[in-house]
Amino acid sequence: MASDVMCCFCTGWLPEHKSVQLVVSPKIDSGESQTLYCHSRCLTENLAASVPKHPFLLDDSGAENMTGTEDETGEN
Ligand SMILES: [Zn+2]
């Protein structure tokens, strides 16, 4: 049973495995962090255009192609 998470930008719900996790460290020295979830699209739309973005963020379908494509080489 998949659990849904809430997008921290638009408050829409989406399956956790399709979400982007934002690990926020408000005070780096404390070691504490908060995990937020969002749509990749919501994140890219809210980031400044000049901020470099991971390719997975730019391709909404990319996350679904992540399984079963690992190429195990070098194990000869
Ligand atoms: Zn959203």
Domain count, the chain: 1
Range of the domain at 26: 4-61
Residue 48 lies in a domain: yes
Residue 24 confidence class, pLDDT cut points 50, 70, 90: very high
Residue 62: is its pLDDT beyond 50? no
The answer to whether the beta carbons of residues 33 and 23 sit under 8 Å apart is yes
In whole angstroms, what separates CA 57 from the centre of its chain? Answer: 7
19 CA distance to ligand 1 middle (Å)? 9
Q: What is the pTM of this model?
A: 0.71
7 CA distance to ligand 1 middle (Å)? 5
What residue type is 19 in one-letter code?
Answer: S
40 CA distance to ligand 1 middle (Å)? 8
| DSSP three-state, residue 28 | helix
Residue 69: is its pLDDT beyond 70? no
